[in-house]
Structure 1
Amino acid sequence: MEQILSRQEASEAVQDHGWRFLLGALLTSVPVLSMGRAIVLAAKAVSVCGDEADRHLKVDVRPERVVFTLQTSDRAAVTTRDVELARRITAVAAEAGLTTEPEIGSGAPRSVQILEIAVDALDIAAIRPFWKAVLGYTDEPGADGPEDPLVDPVGQAPAVWFQQMDRARPQRNRIHFDVCVPHDEAPRRIEAALAAGGRLLSATRAPAFWVLADLEDNEVCITTWQGRDG
């Protein structure tokens, strides 16, 4: 029987297999050498997932890498079944001489991340329908309330969520990016941003998120799953 896992449980269940838990999903990025090999790997992953592929698996196939995402779609959460499928895909990749372990080191490309756009609002319920219509977005499964996030139904663009403001702040940016990264990659990403001229505005909610800004005070949050349970 499928069981929804907590953030901690989901992360710990797949970390040793090279997958990372991000925003209610399991992700891994597998480097490949050609589009042909990428397609072969993707096909094997779909095959090993069997009839469950449609409900759990998404695949982004490119000439240099294949990104796999697992989530129980009708529950918008990670379940024990997703963990089992992650292990199957890791085994298939290993059989092909490939790895699901993140690439780490100088010059290595980033592994996985998810981008969200956050909109500050005084009346979320009033502006949410506009953003839903203008973006062609839809409700996330199980989250159709007047203040819930919105998602791209075909998975091409970032999710949008709404942050409640307590008062108007006209001198502050009203839209900012949230960059959700693997929890063990967040320190390196922050260090790189600071070295590139950024400033750390707040770490009071770390490791859930750190607030950074560029030289002109445009804000961005580096986020992880940690610090959100309980």
Structure 2
Amino acid sequence: MEQVLSRREASEAVQDVGWRFLLGTLRTSVVVGSLGQAAGLAVEAVGVCGDDADGHLRVDVRPDRVVFTLQSLEHAAVTSRDVELALRISADVDEAGLVTTADIGAGAPRSVQLLEIAIDALDIAGIRGFWKAVLGYADEAGAGGPEDPLVDPVGQGPAVWFQQMDRARPQRNRIHFDISVPHDEAVRRVEAAVAAGGRLVSATRAPAFWVLADREGNEACVTTWQGRDG
């Protein structure tokens, strides 16, 4: 029976085969030599997933890599079926002489990641409809409340969520980026941002997220699944 997994359960189930848990999804990439090879891997993955492909698998095909994402669209979360499919895809990729990888480490272009845009608001219900309309976005599956995130219905743009303000803060930016990275990539990413001229604003809620800022005070958060549940 398909079961929704906790963040820790999902992460630990696939970490050893090159997948990482990011924002309610499992994600990995495979380096390839051509667009044709990438398309072939995508077709193989669809076959491996069988009838579950449409409800779980998303594929980004590029000439140099394929990025696979797994999530139960019905539950808007990672389930035991997603873990099973991840293991199947990794085995199939291995048979092709390639490898599923999260691209962790200084030698990689960057790790797998997901981007969110966070908007600070005093009246979330009052502005949420505007952003939904102007972006052409939709409610996340199983959501739709006044404080729930908005998502791109075709899966191309970053999710948008709203952070409740308790008072106006005109002296700082009110839109910031959340960069969700693998839990074993986060410290390196934070250190790189500081070395590039940024500053660490707060680590009080790390490893769930670190708040960083550039030299002009514009903020961004590096986030992981850790510190959010058991």
Output the TM-score relative to the length of structure 1. Answer: 0.98
Equivalences for 1:74-223 in 2 at 5 Å? 74-223=74-223
User: Displacement, 1:109?
Assistant: 1.0
Distance in 2, matches of 1:106 and 1:23, equals 23
Q: Does the CA contact (< 8 Å) of 1:208 and 1:225 recur in 2? A: yes
1:27 counterpart = 2:27: yes
The 1:88/1:229 distance shift into structure 2, 3 A limit, reads same
CA RMSD of aligned residues (A): 0.9
Partners of 2:104 and 2:184 within 8 A in 1: no
Structure 2: gaps of 5 or more residues: none
CA distance in 1, matches of 2:104, 2:86: 21
Does the 8 A contact of 1:29 with 1:111 survive in 2? no
Q: 1:103 to 1:112 in 2, by over 3 A?
A: closer
Q: CA offsets, 1:103-140, max 9 Å, x none?
A: 34444211210000000000100000000000000000
**Matches of 1:109 and 1:147 in 2, distance apart?**
35
Percent identity of equivalent pairs = 78
Work out whether residues 103 and 112 of structure 2, in 8 Å CA contact, stay in contact via their aligned partners in 1: no
- Between the aligned partners of 1:136 and 1:74, the Cα distance in structure 2 is 21
**Structure 2 residue aligned with 1:54:** 54
C-alpha separation between the residues in 2 aligned to 1:3 and 1:44? 25
What TM-score, normalized to structure 2? 0.98
- Paired with 2:120 and 2:24, the residues of 1 have a C-alpha distance of 22
- What do residues 62-107 of structure 1 show as CA deviations (whole Å, max 9, x unaligned)? 0000000000001100000000000000001000111112334444
Q: Return structure 1 stretches of 4+ with deviation > 4 angstroms.
A: none
Aligned partner of residue 182 in structure 1, secondary structure: coil
Other structure's SS at 1:146 match: coil
User: Which runs of 5 or more residues in structure 1 are unaligned?
Assistant: none
Distance 2:106 2:11 in 1: 25
